[in-house]
Structure 1
Amino acid sequence: MSTKQRASLEKTLSMKDILALAFGTMIGWGWIMLAGSWVSAGGVLGAILAFLIGAILCIFVGLTYAELTPALPLAGGELVFAYRGLGSEASWITGWMITFAYVGVAAWEGPALITAIDYIVYLPRLGYLWTIAGFEVYASWVLIGSLGGLILAVINYIGIKSAAVFQLTATLAMALGGVCFFFSGAVNGDVANMVPTFTSTSGFVTVLLMVPAMFVGFDVIPQAAEEMNIPLTKIAKVLILSICMAAAWYMIMIISIAMSAPASIRETDGIPVAESFAYAMGNEAFGKVMIVAAMCGILTSWNGFIVGATRVMFAMGRAKMLPEIFGKAHPKYKTPVAAIIMVGVITCLSPLLGKNALVWFVNASAFGTVVAYFMVACSFLALRKKEPELARPYKVKHGTAVGILAIGVALFFLYMYLPIGPGALVGAEWAMVLGWAALGVVFYIMSKFSYKDVTKEETEYLMFGDEYKRF
């Protein structure tokens, strides 16, 4: 079968590009807004312990990704793993849920960007539209968020390398801001501010529940695997390294905010890290400097999730699980044009929902992520049994134990989000999950009717290409 029938993406990403993509996507904006609440809820050591445990749990899941990604380095990541290990239907569910996770977080970034800009320069409230979840939405506010979405869509449209250069630059700028924050606390702060040390078990659990959402992003690596220009053996190392770097970052930021300012400052309704930095430096201008670094974090997360979502949609379109237009690459830029346009439109429209309502997207998308983690862990074990001969450039030691533990981690976090769990999703969040699932059912039925003549051999080729297909 001619390879001309199957669209492919250009291999241009270097090691530093991949690390910046994963690390920048994971860090984002959350630490700026939530570091103070982590200390308040769990205490300094309680919050650090929650992130340490969360990182260890994520590493078990990450190890399954580390083996599967270099073994099947194809756009779509989780989609491809699930198809190989569990079959077509499981693959569809996995791809659709991880796309929901990426789009949901990306949709939140526009309002986050506007909030950051408004902290630096007051934005006039012009053209009142409506109020959602207690937040008044104005046309002027929406326009700025939509402009950010449009710019990132264009960057991704003109090539993965342009997106990677942007990601690396913004990630370095964000990291510089975080380093300055740490040293300001170490030099000008006071260890007396580092209270409470530990609050309670319920407070610790409160922080632990937030951890999965904070580590979402390392799973973007398999989405871009088809565009990596590095030895396959290095993919696993950079994936695990990115999780460790993110864990270290969050724990350092917890220490930094605890040292920098007393609870009365870091528990503000504003932007805690910015106000704590200004307090430690004794000048409000430093708070605005920190917001510039925070804006870079917003953009890295936003950019990374656009890359992730569009590559899954591209892989689904290429395998005829979605309309074929999603599986076509731009003839010049080699980017998934239709997927980028669709995700770009969603992120440009998301500011219309206001700032408060979009918290629902974050929580609902975390549920979608955990579903994907569960499916990948199951695929990992299934492939160990079904295809022991599959070439694995990196093979996890004690694979069965790691796979079982990864499944346990995913089920634990799924329990947390269910109605019986301590972090149950609210009604609006369940509506988003079920609405996305219903849309997926429609697309699934459409694809079955539209491509009913596609053979298993053709699907195998479209999913894996000549190099990785089984038959």
Structure 2
Amino acid sequence: MTQKKSEFNKVLNAWDILVIAFGAMIGWGWVVSTGGWIEKGGVIGAALGFVIGGIMIFFVGLTYAELTAAMPQCGGEHVFSYRAMGATGSFICTWMIVLGYVSVACFEACAFPTIITYLWPGFLKGYMYTVAGFDIYASWLITAIVIAFLIMLINIIGAKTAAILQTVLTCIIGGAGILLIVASVINGTVDNLDGQIFAGTTAGVNIKAIIGVAAMSPFYFIGFDVIPQAAEEINVPPKKIGNILILSVVLAVIFYAFVIIAVGFVMNPGDIIASQEATGLVTADAMAAAFNTKIMAKVIIVGGMCGIVTSWNSFLLGGSRAMYSMAESYMIPKFFAKLHPKHKTPVNALILIGILTMLAPFAGRKMLVWISDAGNFGCCFAYCMVALSFMILRKKEPDMSRPYKVPCYKFFGTMAVIMSGFMVAMYCIPGSGGNLILQEWLMVLGWSALGVVFYVVCKVKYKESFGTLVEIISDEDAATLMPEADEEELDKVIDAAIDRVLMQKSDLIGGTV
């Protein structure tokens, strides 16, 4: 383990990290999937499902909160798992989280121009080819590439610039959601809940439906873990970082649950079925119904578009920092540990992920859905390793400074391991409703094989340096270890020390000692 002062600029305040995490969790799903959630669990049933799913994520979030506050260092999962499991465990954990971040960023590059087709039906021009049943148009492709380049550029310019963008877009998302919720209260009616409060007519069926929604809901909360990735750039006391991380999860749960209820207040079961069959944008149609004008549907779609960019922006930030931390430990080529000389951002990692997001649209949306699902599996796998790291470090390093300390750690840690393990199992068990298909497993295996190649090559190339954890020390610690002194004074001290050594040597030779 080596030590150094952080090279990142501490530019992110409490609000910045809150909107980065919240914006990562609130993407496009609340616009396109609400109707499916209601059909699956009923209005109240689906809302309860998301609350239960949020509690599942809350347990995992608590472990992240404690570990992030204890080790506020770029890389998050990389550092946690290294301290608990060593270099190999850290490599596996970080490699899987990188898969999650990069894959979601690539998916968003396809999702953004797809939304434009809802706002502008004549947008698709210049048919080029078809991939897995998805038609690729020149206008669609060009838009995706341009937006991907701009988001990459914003992140290279600096984390603060990315945070400002995140703030603006998150406020738009929140504003659109609040408009829908308020309008549903004013213009909606409880009568619309008749026949769709729950999915079934018996307690057994209802409980099963709620559990079904709860089982898939955690995948919509992926993104809170971006906060630990940018820990070195956060200018907030460590304990407060932990509190903000938990707050972001709570806000996401409230947002999803309220949107579901709002849609149920505005649309009856027949309206929701009709909307599902027509556009699939049930939330947008609910907004139009609440305000009695189709123009307001576009407000929700714009909010969803902003959600895509916030998720994209957050995962680009998180993925680049995860790659940087691996390169700092010589687990992947050191090339990716380069920081921009002016903006202090991991420029090479950002350029690589940016290029991948610009190439991704060429593969079509269907293939990107597959890689996104594979990436979500990677995130959940990393969550499980972090939860295990939390338990291991409580035993291994009980005296570690923990500014944010989780009470009853055995209970919360065990629950975090069980919940994250359950999420991983959902991807693995056939018929679970969230299991990966063959193409997605091939992507996971392909990414794992690439990881093995990096592991072996870098271990051979960097030898003893492979897996070295670079521990960041604070300015106060640095001052203690190396107090500031005048250069002339240091020279005098060094000269005096040399003179003493030479005098002792001459005395020994002359036999005077």
Q: TM exceeds 0.5?
A: yes
Q: Please give the alpha-carbon distance, in whole angstroms, between the structure 1 residues aligned to 2:139 and 2:342.
A: 35
Once the two structures are superposed, the pairs formed by residues 103-252 of structure 1 within 5 Å of their partners are: 103-194=102-193, 195-199=195-199, 200=205, 201-252=207-258
In structure 2, the residue matched to 1:309 is 319
**Counterpart contact for 1:212–1:366, Cα < 8 Å:** no
Could you tell which deviates more after superposition, 340-349 or 258-267? 258-267
Partners of 1:100 and 1:152 in 2: CA distance: 19
SS of residue in 2 equivalent to 1:465: strand
Cα separation, partners in 2 of 1:260 and 1:216, compared to 1, 3 Å: same
Q: In the aligned structure 2, how far is the partner of 1:451 from the partner of 1:219?
A: 29
Q: Secondary structure at the match of 1:136?
A: strand
Residues 187-196 or 406-415, more deviating: 187-196
- Output the CA distance in 2 between the equivalents of 1:362 and 1:205: 23
Whether the aligned pair in 1 keeps the contact of 2:458 and 2:466 (CA below 8 Å) is no
- Determine the C-alpha separation between the residues in 2 that align with 1:2 and 1:197: 58
Greater C-alpha radius of gyration? 2
> 1:263 maps to what in 2?
272
2:64 matched to which residue of 1? 65
Give the conservation status (yes or no) of the 8 Å contact 2:6–2:232: no
1:25 corresponding residue in structure 2: 24
Amino acid paired to 2:298: K
Equivalent residue letter for 1:388: P
1:452 aligns with 2:463: yes
Distance in 2 (CA, whole Å) between partners of 1:465 and 1:242 is 26
8 A Cα contact 1:7 1:318, kept in partner: no
CA distance in 2 between partners of 1:347 and 1:256 (Å) = 34
Do the aligned residues in 1 keep the contact of 2:330 with 2:466 (CA within 8 Å)?
Answer: no
Aligned residue-pair number: 464
CA distance in 2, matches of 1:452, 1:103: 28
Taking structure 1 as reference, are residues 209 and 161 closer, same or farther at Cα in structure 2, changes over 3 Å only?
same
Structure 1 residue 442: deviation in Å? 1.0
TM-score (norm 2): 0.87
RMSD: 1.9
Residue 106 of structure 1, CA deviation: 1.2
The amino acid that maps onto 2:228 is P
Structure 1 pair 304–197 and aligned structure 2 pair: CA distance change class (3 A): same
2:415 is equivalent to residue 415 of structure 1: no
**1:183 to 1:2, Cα distance in 2 relative to 1, 3 A:** closer
The residue number in structure 2 matching 1:440 is: 451
Question: What amino acid maps onto 1:224 in structure 2?
Answer: A
Give the share of equivalent positions with the same residue, in percent: 44
Q: Does 1:98 align with 2:97?
A: yes
Task: Choose the corresponding residue for 2:348, options 327, 338, 341.
Answer: 338
Give the aligned residue type for 2:50: F
| 1:284 aligned onto 2:289 | no
1:430 is the counterpart of 2:441: yes
Distance 1:76 1:421, change over 3 A: farther
Where structure 1 has 5 or more consecutive residues not aligned to the other structure, the ranges are: none
> In structure 2, how many angstroms separate the alpha carbons of the residues matched to 1:250 and 1:197?
16
The code of the aligned residue for 2:224 comes to F
Deviation per residue, 1:342-380 (Å, 9 max, x gap): 111111122122233322233222211111111001111
Post-superposition shift, 1:202?
Answer: 4.8
Could you report, residue by residue, the CA deviation over 1:212-255 in whole angstroms, capped at 9, with x for unpaired residues?
Answer: 21110111110111100011110111011111000000000001
- The one-letter amino acid of 1:381's match is M
Structure 2 gaps, min length 5: 200-204, 479-513
Q: Is the 8 A contact 1:321 1:447 kept in 2?
A: yes
Contact 1:266 1:273 in 2 (8 A): no
Q: Are the counterparts in 1 of residues 374 and 436 from structure 2 also a CA contact under 8 Å?
A: yes
Q: For structure 1, which segment, 328-337 or 408-417, has the greater mean C-alpha deviation from structure 2 after superposition? A: 408-417
SS at match of 2:364: helix
Can you list the C-alpha shifts for 1:419-464, whole angstroms capped at 9, x where unaligned?
Answer: 34613111111111111111111111111111014277xx13x2x1
Residue identity matched to 2:273 = S
User: What code does the residue aligned with 1:229 have?
Assistant: N
Structure 2 letter corresponding to 1:264: I
| TM-superposed deviation, 1:400 | 1.7
Q: Do the aligned partners of residues 452 and 290 (structure 1) sit closer, same or farther apart at CA in structure 2, a change above 3 Å counting?
A: same
Task: Select the residue among 294, 297, 304 that pairs with 2:307.
Answer: 297
Q: Match for 1:247: what amino acid? A: V
Q: Match for residue 378 of structure 2? A: 368
Amino acid at match of 1:251: A
Structure 2: how far apart are the matches of 1:108 and 1:2?
Answer: 37
- Which residues of 2 match residues 3-42 of structure 1 at below 5 A? 8-42=7-41
Deviations 1:147-166 (A, max 9, x none): 11111000001000100111
Mean CA deviation greater in 189-198 or 385-394 = 189-198
SS at match of 1:10: coil
- CA–CA distance in structure 1, aligned partners of residues 230 and 42 of structure 2: 37
Cα distance, 1:455–1:339 mapped onto 2, change above 3 Å? closer
Is the Cα–Cα contact under 8 Å of residues 329 and 465 in structure 2 kept in the other structure?
no
**Displacement, 1:115?**
2.0
Identify if the C-alpha distance between structure 1 residues 193 and 157 changes in structure 2 by more than 3 Å, giving closer, same or farther: same
Displacement, 1:191?
2.1
Relative distance call for 1:2 and 1:331 in structure 2 (3 A) is: farther
3-state DSSP of counterpart to 2:129:
strand
8 Å Cα contact 2:60/2:387 also seen in 1: yes
Q: Cα distance, 1:312 vs. partner?
A: 0.2
> Is residue 472 of structure 2 the alignment partner of residue 465 of structure 1?
yes
1:46 partner letter = G
Partners of 1:89 and 1:37 in 2: CA distance: 41
Q: CA deviation at 1:190?
A: 2.6
Structure 1 position 3, deviation (Å): 6.7
- Residue equivalent to 2:496: none
Report Cα offsets for 1:302-349 as digits up to 9, x if no partner. Answer: 101111111100111111111111111111000000110011111112
Report the Cα distance in structure 2 between the residues aligned to 1:153 and 1:396, rounded to whole angstroms. 36
